[in-house]
């Protein structure tokens, strides 16, 4: 069991480093323009939903966009009624990461790392030994950030490969076996575990990626995976809730609405875990992709069901 913990921890650290590389590079690539776009393009709830989706997909972090939304409300750049739609979009945008992870691209991680590392070194050499016009310098900067982002994605894949490698040892663990048996009897245990893990590491994508890795090795039933996915969507709200402690009234409303949206969605979907597991078998033969699809269905349906609330007049009372 010690070996499993050590290897899984190493794999997770590598995965998390890859996520941060992607997040930072993509933010450097599109962050400033994205902030301006968010401020200008949220006139209607549907626009806000779209912007939240795109921003979360590009930045690879729904938490980052949620915190940005809180800062906009705190700074009175956006009213709460328009920010709530952005929050709905973040839940959809975050699904891109897990869908990409679920694709059968593990064998391409090392070639991607090599190619992107060469491109990165190439941009450093060009900047060091030659003076460029403003346009060329901008292009080189964007090329370097794209290379870093793809390198980060390859690092994510390597982390997943390491976490998957312990599947057969984990299956033989009595502790893990007890957890699976308890979760099969009561999926609520899986939901709680997913929420606590996500709250602890502040990344639902990381928890879902680990779940997908275990599902792919066949050691974790799809029903337990779905319960963990539901829980992870609740746990991801903790960061925003902590930040809201020192926020304005509007900032607190953004964090509370995010939490309520996800916990109500999890409780609504919880009774249908068996139906969702059956649906997932029709969507894909890959267990990892089944987890990714269920997360996407959950987030898209929750956001679309909640979107009409943004049009209610009472929402403007809290602006």
In order, the DSSP letters of 191-204 are HHHHHHHHHHHT-H
Domain positions in the chain are 2-318
Q: How far is CA 122 from the centre of its chain?
A: 31
pLDDT, residue 257, reads: 84
List the one residue out of 184, 168, 261, 189 whose CA is nearest residue 231. Answer: 189
List the one residue out of 196, 183, 261, 256 whose CA is nearest residue 232. Answer: 196
CA distance 109 to 156: 9
CA distance 263 to 260: 5
Joined together, the tokens standing for residue 67 give 């915190």
Joined together, the tokens standing for residue 274 give 């068996």
pLDDT, residue 173, reads: 64
pLDDT, residue 66, reads: 76
Residues of the chain with pLDDT under 70: 1-5, 8, 19, 23, 26-27, 29-42, 59-61, 63-64, 71, 75-77, 101-107, 127-136, 160, 163-177, 201-203, 243, 314-319
Q: Are 205 and 156 in contact (CB under 8 A)?
A: no
The per-residue DSSP string of 109-145 comes to HHHHHHHHHHHHHHHHHHHHH----HHHHHHHHHHHH
pLDDT, residue 185, reads: 79
Tokens 């940005």, residue?
A: 68
pLDDT, residue 37, reads: 63
> CB burial class (10 A; 0-12, 13-18, 19+) of residue 201?
middle
DSSP class of residue 312 equals: S
pLDDT, residue 56, reads: 77
User: What is the C-alpha end-to-end distance of the chain, expressed in Å?
Assistant: 52
DSSP helix/strand/coil, 22? helix
CA distance 261 to 91: 10
């Amino acid at each position: 069991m010690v070996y499993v913990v050590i290897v899984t921890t190493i794999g997770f650290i590598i995965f998390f480093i890859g996520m941060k590389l992607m997040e930072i590079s993509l933010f450097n690539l599109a962050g400033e323009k994205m902030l301006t776009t968010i401020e200008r393009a949220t006139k209607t709830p549907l626009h806000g939903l779209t912007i939240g989706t795109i921003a979360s997909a590009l930045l690879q972090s729904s938490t980052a966009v949620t915190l940005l939304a809180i800062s906009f409300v705190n700074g009175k750049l956006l009213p709460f009624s328009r920010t709530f739609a952005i929050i709905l979009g973040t839940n959809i945008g975050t699904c891109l990461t897990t869908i990409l992870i679920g694709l059968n691209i593990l064998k391409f991680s090392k070639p991607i790392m090599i190619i992107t590392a060469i491109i990165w070194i190439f941009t450093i050499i060009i900047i060091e030994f030659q003076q460029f016009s403003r346009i060329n310098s901008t292009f080189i900067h964007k090329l370097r950030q794209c290379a870093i982002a793809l390198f980060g994605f390859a690092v994510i894949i390597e982390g997943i490969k390491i976490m998957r490698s312990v599947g057969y040892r984990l299956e033989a663990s009595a502790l893990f076996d007890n957890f699976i048996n308890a979760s099969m009897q009561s999926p609520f245990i899986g939901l709680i575990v997913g929420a606590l893990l996500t709250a602890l590491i502040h990344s639902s994508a990381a928890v879902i990626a680990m779940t997908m890795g275990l599902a792919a090795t066949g050691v974790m039933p799809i029903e337990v995976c779905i319960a963990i996915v539901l829980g992870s969507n609740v746990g991801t709200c903790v960061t925003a809730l902590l930040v809201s402690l020192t926020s304005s009234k509007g900032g607190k409303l953004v964090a509370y609405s995010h939490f309520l949206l996800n916990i109500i969605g999890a409780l609504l979907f919880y009774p249908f875990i068996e139906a969702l597991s059956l649906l997932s078998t029709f969507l894909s033969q890959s267990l990892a992709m089944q987890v990714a699809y269920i997360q996407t269905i959950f987030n898209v349906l929750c956001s679309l069901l909640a979107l009409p609330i943004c049009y209610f007049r009472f929402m403007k009372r809290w602006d």
